Structure formats: structure tokens, C-alpha cells
């Protein structure tokens, strides 16, 4: 849960965008869609674990 | 973790979101969530020593400590539901945002019911005098 977490997510987002454009331009739409989905799944898993950490921290700290 | 670093992170995250938004708005949502989580944890880390020292000061009085606990819990609930509601509203889902806020309000209301009962009992006792 540090600053580089934000940059990691942003880097994956930009990378997937570029890959998507690359694959679409070279005529492989399905691979482009699959790459986007793969990137989305990876980022979602990271985000879910980070949000879970956040919620558990807030719960313990505020005694909810 | 001083304030300037926190504000700098906000600006950088906003810039990143705007870079990714036109191409893939789903990643923009994820970056917004990630930066929101990181910033929220940082601000909580700053606030919490003050709350802890505040709690120690009130241990001598039972009711004061209980009210303080309820206040801190309400703060936590509003903190979280505000975070979720603002993120949802950022990306156009105002319906989801109002759901999150309504859930937060209900949770806080349930939290304060015992206080309400006590106030009513006290007022009845006073009326009987």
C-alpha cells in the first residue's frame, strides 16, 4: 500500500492500451480483446486486495 | 508523511487518470480506486495517533468514553462511505453513489440509537421531578 502501487496500476493500464492499439492495427482484434481482458483481470485482483487491506485497516483502527 | 507529499500524489494520480481515461475508461476507474485507497490509508495513519491520545484522556468517565467511541465509529463509517460514494460519482454512477451514502447514513443512525434512548430516559426522569 505505497505510492508505487498507483504507478503500477497506471503502467499496466497504459501498457494494455498501447498493446490493444498495436494488435488492432495489425488486424488481430481477438488477441487485442484478450490482452485487454487479461490486463483488466490482473489489475482488478491487485485493486481488490488493496481495497480489502484498506477496509480491514479502517475497521480495526476505528473499531467498527 | 507530510501534507505536501500527499497533495503531490493527488495531482499525479489525477494526471494519470486523465491520460488513461479517453482510451480505456475502465482503467481510469481502477487507478482512481488505487490512488484513493493509498491516500486514505496515509491520511488515517496521520489522524490516528491523535484519536488514540484523545481516547486515553477520557478513560476516567464511562459515559464520555462511550460517546467518544461512538463518535470515532461514526467518523470511520462516514470516511469509508464517502470514499466509495465520491469514487462512484466521479465516473458518472451517481445512483451507486447515493446508495453508498444512504448505507453510510443508516449505519451511523443505527450506531446512535442507544444514545437516543438514553436521552429520552433522562428527559423522562427530569420531567418526573
In contact, B16 and B31? CB cutoff 8 Å: yes
Q: Would you list the DSSP string of B23-37?
A: T-HHHHHHHHHHHHH
Q: Which of A10, A39, A51 sits opposite B37 (nearest CB)?
A: A51
pLDDT at A3: 87
- Give the gap in angstroms from C-alpha B123 to the nearest C-alpha of chain A: 29
Q: Which residue of A has its CA nearest to B24?
A: A17
Q: What is the ipTM of this complex?
A: 0.80
pLDDT at A44: 93
Q: Which region among A10-14, A59-63, B40-44, B63-67 has the lowest average model confidence (pLDDT)?
A: B63-67
Rounded to whole angstroms, the Cα distance separating B99 from B115 reads: 25
If DSSP states are collapsed to H, E and C, what string results for B96-116?
A: HHHHHHHHHHHHHHHHHHHHH
Q: Which residues of chain A does B19 touch, with a Cβ-Cβ cutoff of 8 Å?
A: 10, 14
Q: Map residue B23 onto helix, strand or coil.
A: coil
Confidence of residue B64 (pLDDT cuts 50, 70, 90): confident
Ramachandran region, residue B92 (left: φ > 0; alpha: ψ -120 to 50; beta: rest): left
Percent of chain B with pLDDT over 70: 97
Where do the DSSP E strands lie in chain A? Answer: none
Mutation target for B interface from A23, A48, A62, A64: give the one with most B CBs within 10 A: A62
Q: Which of B19, B38, B48 sits opposite A3 (nearest CB)?
A: B38
CA pseudo-torsion sign B49, B52, B56, B61: positive
Q: Which residues of chain B does A14 touch, with a Cβ-Cβ cutoff of 8 Å?
A: 19-20
pLDDT at B1: 58
Q: Which residue of B has its CA nearest to A40?
A: B27
Mean pLDDT of B71-87: 91
Task: Give the global pTM.
Answer: 0.80
Closest CA to B105 of B86, B85, B84, B77: B77
Confidence of residue A25 (pLDDT cuts 50, 70, 90): very high
Give the cell for residue A57. Answer: 485497516
Residue A26: CB atoms within 10 Å: 10
Amino acid at each position: 500500500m505505497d505510492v508505487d502501487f498507483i504507478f503500477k496500476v497506471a503502467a499496466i493500464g497504459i501498457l494494455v492500451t498501447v498493446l490493444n492499439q498495436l494488435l488492432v492495427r495489425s488486424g488481430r482484434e481477438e488477441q487485442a480483446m484478450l490482452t485487454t481482458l487479461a490486463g483488466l483481470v490482473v489489475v482488478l485482483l491487485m485493486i481488490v486486495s488493496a481495497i480489502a487491506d484498506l477496509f480491514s485497516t479502517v475497521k480495526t483502527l476505528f473499531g467498527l | 508523511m507530510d501534507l505536501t507529499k500527499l497533495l503531490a500524489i493527488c495531482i499525479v494520480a489525477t494526471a494519470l487518470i486523465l491520460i488513461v481515461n479517453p482510451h480505456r475508461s475502465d482503467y481510469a476507474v481502477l487507478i482512481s480506486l488505487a490512488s484513493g485507497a493509498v491516500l486514505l490509508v496515509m491520511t488515517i495513519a496521520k489522524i490516528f495517533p491523535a484519536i488514540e491520545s484523545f481516547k486515553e484522556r477520557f478513560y476516567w468517565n464511562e459515559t464520555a468514553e462511550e460517546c467518544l467511541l461512538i463518535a470515532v465509529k461514526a467518523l470511520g463509517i462516514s470516511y469509508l462511505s464517502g470514499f466509495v460514494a465520491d469514487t462512484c460519482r466521479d465516473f458518472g454512477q451517481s445512483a451507486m453513489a447515493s446508495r453508498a451514502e444512504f448505507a453510510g447514513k443508516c449505519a451511523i443512525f443505527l450506531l446512535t440509537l442507544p444514545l437516543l434512548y438514553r436521552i429520552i430516559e433522562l428527559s423522562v426522569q427530569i420531567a418526573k421531578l
